[in-house]
Chain A
Amino acid sequence: MSGHSTYHPTSGFGKFMDDRLPIARLVHDSFVSFPVPRNLNNFYTFGGILMVMLVSQIITGVVIAMHFTPDASMAFDSVHLLRRDVEYGHTLQSWHAVGASMFFIAVYIHIFRSLYYGSYKAPREILWILGVVIYLLMMATAFMGYVLPWGQMSYWGAQVITNFFSAIPLVGDTVREFLLGGYAVGNATLNRFFSLHYLLPFMITGVVILHVWTLHVTGQTNPTGVEVKSKQDVIPFTPYATIKDAFAMVVFMIIMCYFVFYMPDYLGHADNYIPANSNVTPAHIVPEWYFLPFYAVLRAIDFNIGIPFTDIVLIDSKLGGVLAMFGAIAVLFFVPWLDTSDVRSANYRPMYKIFFWIFAINAVFLGYLGSRPAEGIWIPLMKASTLWYFFHFIVIMPLLGWFEKPLPRPASITDAVLAKNGGASIAQIEGTAAEPQAKG
């Protein structure tokens, strides 16, 4: 797909650099001449949006770190000093906090887009796996960032999440102490979380580079799921994808700004405006919204798993919950092989399409359950919803490959575009004539 380079330096300096450090060639090949399928829809703009979000989080993060004091007695005040006394401090702090949520909104759309269009299938397995790695790193980064303002939710979130590791048999408690740097969440924890919160985004950047690299080797998928076959199927990245991504990005920013400027606390939690207090647990402790589905999975396992009809416990409820929660993420790594169908796009998979939407609704519902207290009717619902989550990946995905009868697929992207546009002439496809009002 990457083909041979079409970059031709014109100036003397360009040629000089091209022989020594061909960075202009790299940019040209990756973001100018890189061929993209002509039929990408707006769901394909989220990759670009995510890149911008990563940069935005790093820049605002570096800036607000200049005003932050990673000390248990001063962290909370330093955040509020930033919000009150620093020029644009309120905007920057909100931008970073809301930005984390928006980052996850974008990443969830990006992941669901991949699931819908089968973007994880051969030859893009590594691309997908790198994506899951990025997602994991994002979760770690977001969690540690949430601890830094040192409010009640920060403190008790750290308490709960580091306790996951104490579920590990035999060495669990030691592992947790090593994570915390003490016997309980405290100053040492805050310090190391600050350090790691600063480090991880750069690791994410590294994996993102690999992610984009693999993408540029395999090429992008497209809504038809049919691979690019001819030059007619593709258009150069610049200006077509560039302008499209830019437009989508600005629309995304409008939504983000609405929250940053008008509802900065909507996506957060009120309890984090109370300074951390090791004596009092908030009445209703929940993680940030983007972790809620996994939190529901964690709490769904409230029973020991043992050998039936004996008292032998193999996995107690604590370890079981943690395993289920990590399993819910780990299962994503295997998706390329769990899906046995050789058709990529759900557009041509009538049954998968239904199950995809059931899965999506179930995932959102699981998130809602994550925000509910673990009591009454919610517990069986959490269990059912969790079960369905795994059932989808482990049972439905592999079986569909055998049972499903896919719809006929177009022979090529160009064919699909032609069929969609009906009257579009081949001349338009070839890009020789232009009627401004032909198609927006």
Chain B
Amino acid sequence: MSDAHAGDVNRRDFLYLATGAAGVVAVGGIAWPLVSQLAPNAREVAGGAPIEIDISAIEAGQVITVTWRGSKYFVYHLTEEEKAAAEKQEQSHFRDFVAADSRISGPEGGEAVWSIYAANCTHLGCIPTEVKGGGDTWNCPCHGSKFDVTGRVTKGPAPVNLPQPPMVFASAEKLIIGTDKVGA
């Protein structure tokens, strides 16, 4: 085979490769918008801005449910007894142990008696119901998972604790869910 012929073949191969590559780019360029449009739209995103909650009216022992980005969150005002019981509880009692105080917080200079966590079970997303009177506080109606007063899982099938949203106490009365920075 002469050199000239070999050069010709190389040039042809390059052309085919370049065309094929451009074809791949084209397919990618078509797929990109088709996938991107699945993302939450701008209105949804704007609607997902942090929410402010007035916590001054929530009595000790009371829990309220709030909605942020379409999902529910429990805002639990612990009583002294509940807090003490949660801190005393054995490590072996939990499936995904963390110290109770990592799940209890409060406004600067105020009492740390607030526990705030997602209301959807970490198994498959049902909302646990509150069980009054001793033992575990939350009982998931779907598959029987149980959580304590700070949202820590004590019984499966839920594998992990109820997650805590980003949040911050703006003042003694105002809780912000959705961000951990005041004024953001």
- What is the interface of chain A, defined by CB distance below 8 A to chain B? 59, 63, 66-67, 81, 84-89, 91-92, 436
Contact = CB atoms under 8 A, between A and B. Distances in A.
Given A59-B34, A92-B33, A436-B8, 17 more contacts: A66-B37, A67-B37, A84-B42, A85-B42, A85-B43, A85-B44, A86-B37, A86-B42, A87-B37, A87-B39, A87-B41, A87-B42, A88-B32, A88-B33, A88-B36, A89-B37, A91-B33
B34 A89 contact: no
**Residue in B33, B37, B41 with the greatest tally of chain A CB atoms within 10 Å:** B37
Contacts of A63: 34, 37
B34 to A, nearest CB: 6
A7 B24 CA distance: 27
B22 to A, nearest CB: 9
Contacts of A84: 42
B43 A81 contact: yes
Contacts of A88: 32-34, 36-37
Interface in B5-56: 8, 32-34, 36-39, 41-44
Contacts of B37: 63, 66-67, 86-89, 92
A36 to B, nearest CB: 21
Q: Which 9 A-B pairs have the closest CB atoms?
A: A88-B33, A85-B42, A85-B41, A87-B36, A86-B41, A85-B43, A88-B37, A88-B36, A87-B39
Interface in B113-130: none
Nearest to A253: B26
Interface of B: 8, 32-34, 36-39, 41-44
A185 B36 CA distance: 35
Nearest to A95: B33
24 contacts: A59-B34, A63-B34, A63-B37, A66-B37, A67-B41, A85-B41, A85-B42, A85-B43, A85-B44, A86-B37, A86-B41, A87-B33, A87-B36, A87-B37, A87-B39, A87-B41, A88-B32, A88-B33, A88-B36, A88-B37, A89-B37, A89-B41, A92-B34, A92-B37
B45 to A, nearest CB: 9
Contacts of B33: 87-88, 91-92
A54 to B, nearest CB: 15
A257 to B, nearest CB: 11
A260 B18 CA distance: 27
Contacts of B36: 87-88
**Residue in A66, A85, A91 with the greatest tally of chain B CB atoms within 10 Å:** A85
A85 B46 CA distance: 10
A89 B39 CA distance: 11
A59 B39 CA distance: 17
A81 B43 CA distance: 8
Contacts of B34: 59, 63, 88, 92
A67 B43 CA distance: 12
Contacts of B32: 88
Contacts of A67: 37, 41
Contacts of B39: 87
Contacts of B8: 436
Contacts of A81: 41, 43
A86 B43 CA distance: 8
A197 B55 CA distance: 51
Contacts of B41: 67, 81, 85-87, 89
B182 to A, nearest CB: 29
A84 B37 CA distance: 12
A63 B32 CA distance: 13
Nearest to B22: A250
